[in-house]
Structure 1
Amino acid sequence: MEQLRSRAMAPKQGAVPSSAVMMQQSLNKLTGQVEWNVVRLHDDQDDGGEFGGLAEEVSEALTMTTYLDMLNDTTRNRAYHLAIQKAVKGARHVLDIGAGTGLLSMMAWRSMREEGRSKEDEGSITACESFLPMFKLARKLLRTNKVGAGVRLIHKRSDEMEVGIDMHCRADVLISEILDSELLGEGLIPSLRHAHENLLIPNARCVPHRATIYAQLVECEHLWKCHDLPGVESRLADGVVLGQSDYNQFQGRSAAMHVDPLARQMHLLSEPFEVFTFELSRAPDECGQHQRSVAITNDGRAHALVSWWVLQLDVEGEIFYSTGPKWIKHASAYENPEFDLQIEWCEHWKQVVWFLPGKGLLVSSGDEVLVTASHDAVSVSYNVMSSQGSGMPQEEIAKHNIDCPVLFEASMTPDRIGVLGHEPWREGVRLAAETALRCQKSSVCVVLDDSLLMTMASASADASVQVIAMFPGRAVGQEYVDDLSRTMGPNVGSINVMNEKATSLTPENLGGRKVDVLMAEPYYTSSSKMLPWRSLRFWYERTHLTSLLSENARLLPCRASLRGVAVNMPDFWKSRRFIKSVEGFDHSSINSVFGACGELPLPHEVPILPYAVWQCGQYEELTDVFTVMEFDFSHPIQTMEGVTEVAVSRTGPCHGIVLWMDWSLNPDGSLVLSTGPAGGRPTFWKQGVKLFRSPIEVGAAGAQQKSHLSPPASLNEESANSLMKVAGLFNSCNGDLNVTVSFS
């Protein structure tokens, strides 16, 4: 399920009674079927539950939000608290938009009380929160912290609020944190425009006061491989074509990611430059455009713009918060030496990478390029041209994108483009398809998932093959596949595209024939942001289609392995640790809701979460890679258990284990597609991260080799946790995977 965050401009919701029913859309983890579930939400005053009787489905969704990470961001919390203390001095009415847990409202409430005002002049606070689960949690936390009537909490969007109904008067202070990594994506501009026009007095104070977006031109091959599939394929000699330059080259793409792990392979081509500054103490413009000349400082090819933002939280310019990469953190003109700008690793805000079209722009030191930045209400876009005019003007890019069909846009994320251009991955798929089809004069091959790579590789392996490609995510159409086939030449088998789930395949679709080869990468668009074993959906679908398979049907993949490694991940563990209080406000009741690690009480379990571990800060592996269980697709799907023991090879704090899937494409195991973490190096895959309740000091048996990331541990050979036992249970009914870990 996609991440959820409290949004001031979220879909409209009416008032919900204390005991309510809501419909929640969810994806069946095994079948891929979208389902609607009835979720009952009872008032927490009635049942005394940990989260007001909130249904398990909603709690599971909340573990994937960034709330826990934000509340563990001590730099953010401290900066907001200091700025709010200054802003609310003498204030009569404070408005908090997108209250979340109510933290900012509580900061304002305490700051106003600490002024020593008379009871008649205490002032008031109104907060709005549109996401029902967060509204209920905020209400509970306000009671826990004995705020009482000090904060009036409204379950509405800010643009639904009216003075005289929801607020007794206009507010003279606005506090908010409706910011995403790009700054604008959570509705900052429309929310503030409505507030300034309808809910605030003229010249109201705002926290934050100002926001500035900065950018920098960079060269980085990893980023290029995440964007220019036609360019990557031009370097390869496998004959398989997946990207059409006519469709891909000029479409602007952006992605939020941590760029610090790429610093060693990133070549900086310009100094940081200002893109936009938004004065938040007045209504910001809905759209804008700015062109500036940027000096090139190094020779290279500009593959991308890296952008970040800086908040000035107070009017005086003494309190700042930056999302900039580490290489500019302490060398920037906007840093105030009186305010500690030590930024910890965090997941909730990253940098944004804007990919330049195609192969990028070749530049030389001393050159100047023209950067045109445009913004609408929710996003920022860029056009970069050399001073000689090379590059495509913005209006031509817009016209090109209208004329060219937007194909498989949903599935072609930067990571997915990287996978499709990854030579070892492509070679494994191509060889497996050729091997499976080699001994058959003519065959029916069915590709079950959304794998364009598997489809084109199997069709190019044998001109006599009949390929039926399901594409259940409806991301690829017949027209695009036909274009690729023509590009690859005449020796390509016929491909029939069916934008349906595999379970809809019938004997009529096969023309009365049986399936000789059943294939999947496996890659399902709907599971791309989920845990890696969600692709065991292939096993479920292979079981469902048993009656359609020929006697000696080949399966690709034929087996899979759940693999893992014990890890030291201090930054990631810290971002999801158990919270007792935030800036002096009790938040202990949120931990089980968000799946915090640390002092989480039994029977609550820390959930396994999908993350690309190379993006998760400091990382070191403490054991060799181990196998938890094996899945054999020649048998129908079944519930399975697996247990393994592995020796610890390094000494230090162990924060959890990382899990992933390896897919065997042939029976002898010589062709394996791995989604593993590659030792923490940049990859294109997500893994499952299972954090422990608390870090466990482990020690290598025999000679105790120490981790270079961890402080020395006071361990000896007798007391060290040197042997780890991992047990896994796969539930074939719902696709859930439960993993437990113990040490001896």
Structure 2
Amino acid sequence: MTPDDRLDPGIQRLIAAVDGRPDAMVALALTLLLPRGLAQTARRLCDAALALAPDDREIAAQARRIRSAGVGKWYFTMVQDDDRHALYAAALRSVMPADATLLDIGAGTGLFAMIAARAGAARVIACERDSAVAAAAAAVVARNGYADRVTIIPKDARDLQIGVDLAAPANLLLWDNLANNLIGAGGLKTVEDARARLLTRDAVIMPYRAEIMVGLATHRRPADYAMGIVDGFDMTPFNQLAVAHDTPDRGAIDLRSNGVAIFDMDFTGPPIPAARNAVTVHATAGRVHGIIQWIRFHLAEGIVYDTIDPGVRAFETEVTPVEPFDVADGQAVVICGRHDRDVPWFWLEA
């Protein structure tokens, strides 16, 4: 149940009081409903205001703010990742069971659900917990003629039920990770829950495995991470408040070592426990400013999507800043890491 499902009587009275006045309706949505986390109610009020004043450009401008609230810009960059689309399509074709019922967790724009249908899935059940995103995805699916095979359900995957949302367990799972660190969006718990409740025992899982990769990094703009002398003043004490990790522009980072998998996760096996590990990388000569982390997805046998590759738009690499130091060619450096199933963190061995 969301906050929108249990509106305070006082808010209900305010909504009734502005009924029929588009400017007051969008004002209420912006100043009260959205700040209180009532996005669905705000969007419904916004749609009603637009219906009353379809030609009012100011109302339309306010409505855009309401409709887009909380919707990540990443949806618009993800769909530009052509290599990713091609890899997933090839992987789906290679593993597609006969008469496949595919469960797509994290439908987003609906693109992957349609790619799955085009690759041969008989039925696609795609869930998306953001109701506005789900509605837009359903419109996209209908626009492209796949509504007979693709169903978008505005629910979190952990709220899905067999017999309600799916007629029977799915035999193919496609889960679309939205965390640059693999596990930050609750991916482990979501996949484990789906395997336990929503899939057949022999269901194919995509991706079936993923590695959290690490290496050394040089930042071309190190001042983004650490202050030095500014106008003659020593600003270094402020560095204690520097970010713990960052997602810098790809052009700002150079890889200063080989990459190594620090965590290797198999989503077809037992639940993945919290873990600690240390790996050795070998540097190329230069200055090190941080530990870079990315993901290597194993979609199907021999089909890998690596989020550090040029042209990737769906994911960013993450960098954990370290005290800068110089390395020689071939120098061994030990990177340590730990994850608690929700967040990974990294540091260098002393």
Query: TM-score range, shorter-chain basis?
Result: 0.7 to 0.9
| Shift in alpha-carbon separation, 1:39–1:321, aligned structure 2, 3 A | same
3-state secondary structure, aligned to 2:305: strand
> What secondary structure does 2:163 align onto?
coil
Q: Cα gap change, 1:345/1:274 in structure 2, threshold over 3 Å: closer, same or farther?
A: closer
Shift of 1:110: 3.2
Equivalence map 1:186-201=2 (5 Å): 186-201=185-200
Tell me the secondary structure at the aligned position of residue 192 of structure 1: helix
Secondary structure of 1:243's counterpart equals helix
Aligned twin of 1:371: 335
Name the counterpart of 2:232: 238
Q: Which amino acid aligns with 1:262?
A: A
Task: Work out the CA distance in 1 between the residues paired with 2:149 and 2:316.
Answer: 34
Amino acid of the structure 2 residue aligned with 1:380: P
Secondary structure at 1:313's aligned position in 2?
Answer: strand
- What's 1:687 paired with? none
SS in 2 for 1:175: strand
Runs (5+) with no aligned partner, structure 1: 1-10, 29-33, 114-122, 327-343, 391-744
Equivalences for residues 284-363 of structure 1 within 5 A = 285-298=272-285, 300-314=286-300, 316-317=301-302, 319-324=303-308, 326=310, 344=311, 346=313, 348-356=314-322, 359-363=323-327
What is the identity, as a one-letter code, of the residue corresponding to 1:88? M
Correspondence 1:640-719 to 2 at 5 A: none
Is contact 2:97–2:172 with CA below 8 Å preserved after alignment?
no
TM-superposed CA distance for 1:68, in Å, is: 2.2
- The count of aligned residue pairs is 319
CA distance in 1, matches of 2:98, 2:188: 27
Q: Distance in 1 between matches of 2:99 and 2:183?
A: 27
Secondary structure of 1:360's aligned partner: strand
Aligned residue for 1:138? 137
Confirm whether residue 274 of structure 1 aligns to residue 258 of structure 2. no
- 2:278 alignment partner AA: Q
Cα distance per residue 1:536-581 (max 9 Å; x no partner): xxxxxxxxxxxxxxxxxxxxxxxxxxxxxxxxxxxxxxxxxxxxxx
* Distance in 1 of aligned mates of 2:213 and 2:103: 29
Q: CA deviation at 1:353?
A: 1.2
Query: How many Å separate the matches in 2 of 1:27 and 1:256?
Result: 31
> Aligned to 1:281, what secondary structure does the other structure show?
coil
40, 43, 49: which one aligns with 2:44: 40
TM score, norm. by length of structure 2: 0.76
For 2:73, the equivalent position in structure 1 comes to: 65
Report deviation, 1:94.
Answer: 1.4
Paired with 2:348 and 2:243, the residues of 1 have a C-alpha distance of 11
Query: Structure 1 residues 220, 77: closer, same or farther in 2, change over 3 A?
Result: closer
- Partner letter of residue 255 of structure 1? D
- Where structure 2 has 5 or more consecutive residues not aligned to the other structure, the ranges are 7-14, 16-24, 55-59
Matches within 5 A, 1:357-436: 359-365=323-329, 367-385=331-349, 390=350
Secondary structure in 1 matching 2:120: helix
Distance in 2 of aligned mates of 1:88 and 1:382? 37
Q: Compute the displacement of 1:26 (Å).
A: 5.4
Offset of 1:126 from its aligned partner?
Answer: 1.8
CA contact (8 A) 1:190 1:286 kept: no
CA distance in 1, matches of 2:29, 2:292: 35
CA distance in 2, matches of 1:151, 1:325: 31
Secondary structure class of the residue paired with 2:134: helix
Q: CA RMSD in A?
A: 3.8
Find the aligned partners of 1:271 and 1:144 in 2 and give their Cα distance: 45
Q: Report the more deviating stretch, 61-70 or 301-310.
A: 61-70
Q: Which amino acid aligns with 2:307?
A: T
Deviation at 1:209, TM superposition (A): 2.5
Query: Of 252, 262, 272, which aligns to 1:262?
Result: 252
* Residues 69/366 of structure 1: CA separation in 2 closer, same or farther (3 Å cut): closer
- 1:370 deviates by 2.3
Flag the 1:269–1:142 CA change in 2: closer, same or farther, 3 A: closer
In the alignment, the residues of structure 1 paired with residue 216 and residue 293 of structure 2 have an alpha-carbon distance, to the nearest angstrom, of: 9
Measure the CA separation in 1 of the matches of 2:330 and 2:188: 37
C-alpha spacing 1:26/1:370, structure 2 compared with 1 (3 Å) = farther
State the shift of 1:97 in Å: 0.6
Query: Which amino acid in structure 2 is aligned with residue 256 of structure 1?
Result: T
1:129/1:154 contact within 8 Å kept: yes
* Alignment pair present for 1:184 and 2:183: yes
In structure 2, C-alpha distance between the alignment counterparts of 1:101 and 1:219, rounded to whole Å: 35
Q: What fraction of aligned residue pairs are identical, expressed as a percent?
A: 22
Q: Which residue of 2 aligns with 1:521?
A: none
Q: Secondary structure of the residue that 2:347 maps to in structure 1? A: strand
Give how far 1:111 is off: 3.1
1:62 positional shift: 7.5
